[in-house]
Structure 1
Amino acid sequence: MKKLIPLLFLGLAAIGLMLILNACNDSSGDSNVNPQTGTGGSLARFAITGNTLYIVSKQSLDVYDIRDGGNPAKSVTKNLGVGIETIFPYQQNLFIGAMDGMYIFNNHTPANPVLLSKYTHVLSCDPVVVQGRYAYVTLRAGVNCRPGGSFSSLDVVDIGDPTQPAMVGTQRMDSPYGLGVSGNKLFVCEGEKGFRVMDITDPKTPVQKRYFQNVPSYDVIVRENRLIITGQKGLFQYRYDDSDTIRFLSQIPVL
C-alpha cells in the first residue's frame, strides 16, 4: 500500500494536468492577476498559472517560463530549506506547504515570486487549500510526519493580510491527507479512515456534516459538483449535492 499511494498521487496530478486544457479558476476580475490555468489536488508538487510553471522539490521552488511548451526555460530557484511538500496557487499568491509551516509568495511577477511570510506550525505533513481570506491546512501526525506527535488537526488560517497569517481555528482530525474546497463546502481526506464533508458557511469554523468511513481517500479535486478522489485502488469520481450526499460515478483502477 505504501508503494501504491505515491502512484495514485501522481495519477491525481496527471488528472490536474488534463484539466488544464479546459479548466477555469474561480477568479473575479482583475484581482486574479495570474489566473490558475489548471486544477490540481492539494498534494500537488507543481502548478501552472498563465505561462508559468511552478515546481516544488524537497528544498526549493523552481519557476519555469513555458510560453514555448517544447522548451521550458527556468526563470529562478527559491531555496526554502528542507521539508517542502506541496503548492497551491490562489489569485496572485502561491501557498507552499512544508513540514514546519506554510510559505506565502506573491507571484504578481510570475518569473520571480516574492516571499511575503511564513506561517509556522508544529512538525507534520501539511497540504493546504485556500478560498477567500482563509487557508485550510491539515496537519497529520505519524512516524513519517510528526515524530512523537499525539494528534492530527485541521487548522484555519486568516490570510487577509498575507504578510501576517494567523490561525483562527483548529480541530482534531483522525489521519488527514489532502483536502479541497468549493463554496461553502470543505472536503477532507482521512486516508484509510474515510472522507469528511464539512460546512464552512462560517469559514473560521468548519462543521462536519457527513463522514464517509467507507470511502478511503488521500487527495481530492473539486470541480463542478464532482469530486475526483485518490482511493486505495485507483481514482474515483463522485457527484455531491446540497444534502451533502456523494454518489459514485466511475473508477479508474490502479493495480
Structure 2
Amino acid sequence: MKKITPFLFIGIAFIGLIILITSCDSSSDSAVSPQTGLGGSMARFAITGNTLYIVSRQSLEVYNIANGGNPVKAVTKNINVGIETIFPYKNHLFIGATDGMYIYNNLTPDNPTLLTKYTHVQSCDPVVVQGNYAYVTLRGGVVCRNWVAQSSLDVVDISNPGNPQLINSQSMQSPYGLGVSGKRLFVCEGDNGFKVLDISDPQLPVIKHHFTDLASYDVIVKNNRLIITGAKGLFQYLYDEDDNVELLSKIPVL
C-alpha cells in the first residue's frame, strides 16, 4: 500500500480542524463577521452562516446548508481559469486567482455579486483581510509564475471594496499561506520557515521573527493559537503579545 503524501495527509487533518473550530466557536467574533468557521488562506471552501462556498479552478459554487444533511445548490458563478482560494470577511468574499483577487459583495449570501477584480502579474495568490487592508502573497518560480523568480507580500487598500489600491509591496522568499490577527501578520514560507510580521502600521508590515526550522504551508489564527501545516505535519502553537511561541501539540507526517 502506498504511503499517503504529506500534503494529502495535512489536507485531511486541516479539514478536521476547520470542522472542529467551526463547531466549537461561540465567541463574539460572529457579531463582527458572518463567517461561521475558520479556514486557512489556501482554503478552497468557506462557510458563512447557512451558506457554503466552494471554488473550483474556474467557478464559485454556492450551496444553502440550512439543512446540513441536505445541501441545496443555489448558484454557480463562472469566474475565470486559475481560481485558487477563498477568504470571507464581513460582507465580502475575497477570491484569490493566478491573475488577481476577485472581490464579491456577499450581502445576499445565496447570490454573491462581483464588485471588482484587483489585477496583478500572474502568480499564486492566497489572500487574508483585516479592517481596510488585504494581504496577498505572490510566489514566483512555480507553475503559475515560473518565468518570474521574485516573490512578494502585497498590501492592498480595500477601504473602497469596489476600487482596491496597491499601497505596499515587499520581497519574500517563497510565500504560501498567511494569517492575520490584531497587530500580527503570519506568513508561511514553505521550506524557508515561518515569519511573524508586525502590522501596528497595517500599511507597512515589519518582520519581527523568522522561525527557519518550522517548514510551513498554511496557518489558521484563532484566540492566540496558530494551527500550522507543513511538510513535517500539523502543529498547534500558543502565542502572546510579546511574540512568545509555545508548542502545544503536533500530528507528524510518518
TM over 0.5: yes
Displacement after TM superposition at 1:85 (Å): 0.3
Report the secondary structure of 1:5's partner residue. Answer: helix
Report the secondary structure of 2:104's partner residue. Answer: strand
Report the secondary structure of 1:110's partner residue. Answer: coil
Code of the residue aligned with 1:188 in structure 2: it is V
Aligned to 1:140: 139
Displacement after TM superposition at 1:6 (Å): 4.2
Displacement after TM superposition at 1:244 (Å): 1.7
Aligned to 2:211: 212
Mapped to 1, the partners of 2:12 and 2:78 lie a distance apart of: 24
Q: Among the aligned pairs, what percent are the same residue?
A: 62
> Which runs of no fewer than 5 residues in structure 1 stay unpaired?
none
The answer to whether the 8 A contact 2:140-2:149 is kept is yes
Aligned to 1:11: 13
Aligned CA distance change for structure 1 residues 243 and 127 (closer, same or farther; 3 Å): same
Displacement after TM superposition at 1:143 (Å): 2.8
Displacement after TM superposition at 1:233 (Å): 2.2
Aligned to 1:79: 78
Aligned to 2:252: 253
The yes-or-no answer on 1:128 pairing with 2:130 is no
Displacement after TM superposition at 1:24 (Å): 4.9
Aligned CA distance change for structure 1 residues 6 and 103 (closer, same or farther; 3 Å): farther
The correspondence of residues 1-255 of structure 1 with structure 2, limited to 5 A, is: 3-24=5-26, 27=29, 29=31, 32=33, 35-255=34-254
Mapped to 2, the partners of 1:6 and 1:178 lie a distance apart of: 16
Code of the residue aligned with 2:39 in structure 1: it is G
The answer to whether the 8 A contact 1:25-1:36 is kept is no
Report the secondary structure of 1:243's partner residue. Answer: coil
Mapped to 2, the partners of 1:10 and 1:78 lie a distance apart of: 26
The answer to whether the 8 A contact 1:20-1:37 is kept is yes
- The RMSD of aligned alpha carbons is 1.8
Code of the residue aligned with 1:228 in structure 2: it is I
Report the secondary structure of 1:37's partner residue. Answer: coil
The answer to whether the 8 A contact 2:30-2:36 is kept is no
The answer to whether the 8 A contact 1:197-1:210 is kept is yes
Mapped to 2, the partners of 1:74 and 1:26 lie a distance apart of: 29
Aligned CA distance change for structure 1 residues 10 and 82 (closer, same or farther; 3 Å): farther
1:116-161 Cα offsets, whole Å, 9 max, x none, are 0000111111100000000000000123130211200000000000
The answer to whether the 8 A contact 1:43-1:178 is kept is yes
Mapped to 1, the partners of 2:94 and 2:26 lie a distance apart of: 19
The answer to whether the 8 A contact 1:24-1:38 is kept is no
Aligned CA distance change for structure 1 residues 210 and 173 (closer, same or farther; 3 Å): same
> Which runs of no fewer than 5 residues in structure 2 stay unpaired?
none
Displacement after TM superposition at 1:28 (Å): 7.9
Aligned CA distance change for structure 1 residues 145 and 3 (closer, same or farther; 3 Å): farther
Mapped to 2, the partners of 1:99 and 1:3 lie a distance apart of: 25
TM-score, normalised on structure 2?
A: 0.95
The answer to whether the 8 A contact 2:6-2:233 is kept is no
Code of the residue aligned with 2:23 in structure 1: it is L
The answer to whether the 8 A contact 2:83-2:95 is kept is yes
The answer to whether the 8 A contact 1:16-1:39 is kept is yes
Runs (4 or more) in structure 1 with deviation over 6 Å come to none
Report the secondary structure of 2:143's partner residue. Answer: coil
Displacement after TM superposition at 1:25 (Å): 7.0
